[in-house]
Chain A
Amino acid sequence: MTAERVPAPPPPASEPAGDVVLEVEDLKTIFHTEAGIVHAVDGVSFQVNAGEVLAVVGESGCGKTVTALSVLGLIPKQTGRITSGSIRYRGKDLLKMHPDEQRAIRGDRIAMVFQDPLTALNPVHRVGAQIAEQIEAHRDVTGKEAWKRAVELLKLVGIPNAADRARNFPHHFSGGMRQRVMIAMAIALDPELLIADEPTTALDVTVQAQILRVLLDVQERFGMAIMLITHDLGVVAGIADRVMVMYAGKRVEQADVHTLYGNPKHPYTWGLLGSTTRVDRPRLDQLAQIPGAPPSLLAPPPACRFAPRCAWAQAICREEYPELREVAEPDHIAACHFVDLDDWEPDRPPTGLARRTEEVT
């Protein structure tokens, strides 16, 4: 098809169009709760390059969704706020922009796909209208043109009978179809960055693969960067270029996908990887678990936050916070005091370090 791309507005003239689409520096987001202030994101920095897929991995509550919402400015004012840091889109700090400027970027240059497509779509509006709304919010087009484009987009993401289906309501679709609708809506204006927050979590396993295919397909076609948030490592392996692991509101490891799977350095990452079955490893009698639970983010401990659950925690881990440091390979960083140790692997106790034997509470 020829005319698939909606003409995009010219990029902001003041900044050179670099390779880095999004650069987040030392982002801190808090929430007010009845129990006190929760430090959901506590000093996270990362960047997303044009056209790549960055996976953000971590368990529930580690701050990955809040990070995404912070980038888009969707933290409800009554419950939380961003206390410090910068979020630069193509060089311009979103946090310092006028709300109207932010709104212009939201949906147009940076778009988001949410986790549960049933609740994320308005139940009383037709699907085609909701996609058209995305277009009409940022472009000066007629309703008819927007609707036509919406139907095209539905076709693009693989919805059969797109013209008829566009007139349906969200509850007429199955989960996988709904997610395709959300994706169609998000890519409507050819954004440079697509943030996908657990797009497959609410779906059947068989449908998950389809949706990932749609995402990949879309990415190839339009060349957009994707920030994929998930807790599912299988998903990550299939689609990501780089991976960022989060824990308790902080970044604990980051590398390109092969390095992460081949040579993980942070014990939490080991735990994550060890808790999945892998075809290339001998069968496990029991899936390894990471015992314990993440720390409360009301008063985060000053030292390594993973120490209470880490099988190799030493005295220094409980005293000093392990800042992110480079591992032997470039672009591979981990927040652990012992990344320099060679031959340190999940199942092989390192020389010189005693492995903890007592029960982790």
Chain B
Amino acid sequence: MLRFILRRLLISVPLLLVASVLVFTVMHLTIDPAAGVRVNPRISAADVQRYRHDLGLDRSGPAQYFAWLGNFVRGRWGHSLFSSTSVSGEIREALVNSMVLGVTGFAIALLLGVTIGVIAAVRQYSVFDYLATSGAFVALSIPVFWFALILQLLFGLYLVRWLHLEQPIFYTAGMVQPGSLGFDLLDRVRHLALPAVVLAVQLIAVYSRYMRASMLEVLNSDYLRTARAKGVRERRVIVHHGMRNALIPLTTQAAIDLGGLAGGLIATEAIFQWPGMGALFVRVMDNGDYAIALPWVMLTMAFVIVFNLVADILYAVLDPRIRYA
């Protein structure tokens, strides 16, 4: 097992490197950080040259890349190209914000998704099953950003109007009330609610379907029949035998999804103005700040790779039939 883990991690390194080269090349070819300076008529050409030299922009492409790489692996991520904020600081803050949102939505979705899936499977073809299935279909077909907009309309406009509220029940923008200091849990929750719901709904759709399909397969299995033949209580049959097996594929998928959360939710964060990794990425893509973009991509990829590995390990832990060479 240890060898397996090491091998996987080793393979990931070239993957990350290749990705960094690709992103670097694209950004390098499409942005000129000196563009703003160049355009300014009050700066002489010689000064522009000096500016470029200071930033190391007059070196060749590959040279720039390796310079960046050298600094990157040493943890010196430097500063943003356009503001003087530290790259690691910006990314760290965005990451924390995204994780808060992501983990909350994820946890809700896992709980509800599994429950709905199990009930739908145990009561197959019932009204509940039918509703759960229809709901999942709709949730999978809804454009995320539109759903977010509608929620904004609903909570920010319609409910406020109909119920004559002073403030919306759940806030539709930002993480905290502007101008507030310190940490107010209720305020945070009211801001977190809507974006977390948007995320949760998407995940619930997937997880409930997964769980239902998985549970159905298990419910028809021979070993479940054996458990009943032993006279085991039905509840134990469903949980200890049924769910224990049915949860395996879902758990690995959930681990993978967890890894993906590091990339933030681009659309959701954009609409709810949540200052997370997604919003950060869009911003740096817009202005071409590859000092942030590159570490952003590397970090997100690293998360995905690590959690994919976790998923595989989890699979082996949960299913004794799987053993890695």
Q: Please tell me whether chains A and B touch each other in their complex, using a CB distance cut-off of 8 A.
A: yes
**A residues adjacent to B (C-beta < 8 A):** 72, 74, 78, 103-108, 111-112, 114, 116, 119-125, 133-134, 137-138, 169, 171, 182, 185
CB nearest neighbor in A for B228: A74
Given contacts A116-B222, A119-B222, contact A107 B318 (CB under 8 A): no
Contacts of A78 in B (CB 8 A): 124-125
Check if B233 is an interface residue, CB within 8 A of chain A. Answer: yes
Contacts of A171 in B (CB 8 A): 320-321
Question: In the complex the two chains form, what is the Cα distance from A64 to B228 in whole Å?
Answer: 19
CB nearest neighbor in B for A106: B231
> Is A120 a contact partner of B231 (Cβ separation < 8 A)?
no
Contacts of A137 in B (CB 8 A): 230-233
Check if B229 is an interface residue, CB within 8 A of chain A. Answer: yes
Check if B8 is an interface residue, CB within 8 A of chain A. Answer: no
Contact of A112 among B124, B221, B229, B233 (CB under 8 A): B229
> Is A124 a contact partner of B320 (Cβ separation < 8 A)?
yes
> Is B320 a contact partner of A169 (Cβ separation < 8 A)?
yes
Contact of A120 among B226, B244, B248 (CB under 8 A): B226
Residues 237-264 of B, flagged 1 when their CB comes within 8 A of A and 0 if not, give 0000100110010000000000000000
Given contacts A74-B225, A78-B124, A116-B222, contact A123 B230 (CB under 8 A): no
Contact of A106 among B125, B229, B241 (CB under 8 A): B229
CB distance from A182 to the nearest CB of B (A): 8
CB distance from B207 to the nearest CB of A (A): 20
Contacts of B241 in A (CB 8 A): 122, 125
CB distance from B323 to the nearest CB of A (A): 10
Question: In the complex the two chains form, what is the Cα distance from A340 to B136 in whole Å?
Answer: 67
Pair count A-B, CB < 8 A? 73
Given contacts A123-B245, A171-B320, contact A114 B233 (CB under 8 A): no
> Is A124 a contact partner of B319 (Cβ separation < 8 A)?
yes
Question: In the complex the two chains form, what is the Cα distance from A121 to B231 in whole Å?
Answer: 15
Given contacts A114-B222, A116-B222, A169-B320, contact A72 B229 (CB under 8 A): yes
Contacts of A112 in B (CB 8 A): 226, 229
Which of under 10, 10 to 19, 20 to 34, or 35 or more describes the interface residues of B? 20 to 34
Contacts of A108 in B (CB 8 A): 231
Given contacts A120-B222, A122-B245, A123-B245, contact A107 B231 (CB under 8 A): yes
Contacts of A124 in B (CB 8 A): 244-245, 248, 318-320
Given contacts A104-B231, A107-B232, contact A121 B320 (CB under 8 A): no
Contacts of B231 in A (CB 8 A): 103-108, 134, 137-138
> Is A123 a contact partner of B124 (Cβ separation < 8 A)?
no
Check if B144 is an interface residue, CB within 8 A of chain A. Answer: no
Contacts of B21 in A (CB 8 A): none
Question: In the complex the two chains form, what is the Cα distance from A333 to B124 in whole Å?
Answer: 44
Question: In the complex the two chains form, what is the Cα distance from A334 to B246 in whole Å?
Answer: 48
CB distance from A40 to the nearest CB of B (A): 16
Question: In the complex the two chains form, what is the Cα distance from A120 to B229 in whole Å?
Answer: 11
Question: In the complex the two chains form, what is the Cα distance from A13 to B111 in whole Å?
Answer: 48
Contacts of A111 in B (CB 8 A): 229-230
Some 23 contacts from A to B, beta carbons below 8 A apart, are A78-B124, A78-B125, A103-B231, A106-B230, A107-B229, A108-B231, A111-B229, A111-B230, A112-B226, A112-B229, A114-B229, A119-B222, A121-B223, A121-B226, A122-B226, A122-B241, A123-B319, A124-B248, A137-B232, A137-B233, A169-B320, A171-B321, A182-B226
> Is A120 a contact partner of B233 (Cβ separation < 8 A)?
no
Interface residues of B in 310-325 (CB under 8 A from A): 318-321
Contacts of B248 in A (CB 8 A): 124
Check if B297 is an interface residue, CB within 8 A of chain A. Answer: no
Given contacts A114-B222, A116-B222, A124-B318, contact A74 B244 (CB under 8 A): no
Given contacts A124-B244, A124-B318, A124-B319, contact A106 B228 (CB under 8 A): yes
Check if B23 is an interface residue, CB within 8 A of chain A. Answer: no
Check if B227 is an interface residue, CB within 8 A of chain A. Answer: yes
Contacts of B232 in A (CB 8 A): 107, 133-134, 137
Contacts of B233 in A (CB 8 A): 103, 137
Question: In the complex the two chains form, what is the Cα distance from A114 to B320 in whole Å?
Answer: 22
Contacts of B320 in A (CB 8 A): 123-124, 169, 171
> Is A122 a contact partner of B223 (Cβ separation < 8 A)?
yes
CB nearest neighbor in B for A73: B228
Question: In the complex the two chains form, what is the Cα distance from A121 to B226 in whole Å?
Answer: 7
4 closest Cβ pairs, A-B complex: A107-B231, A119-B222, A106-B231, A107-B230
Contacts of A133 in B (CB 8 A): 227, 230, 232
Question: In the complex the two chains form, what is the Cα distance from A104 to B230 in whole Å?
Answer: 9
Residues 195-223 of B, flagged 1 when their CB comes within 8 A of A and 0 if not, give 00000000000000000000000000111
CB distance from A107 to the nearest CB of B (A): 3
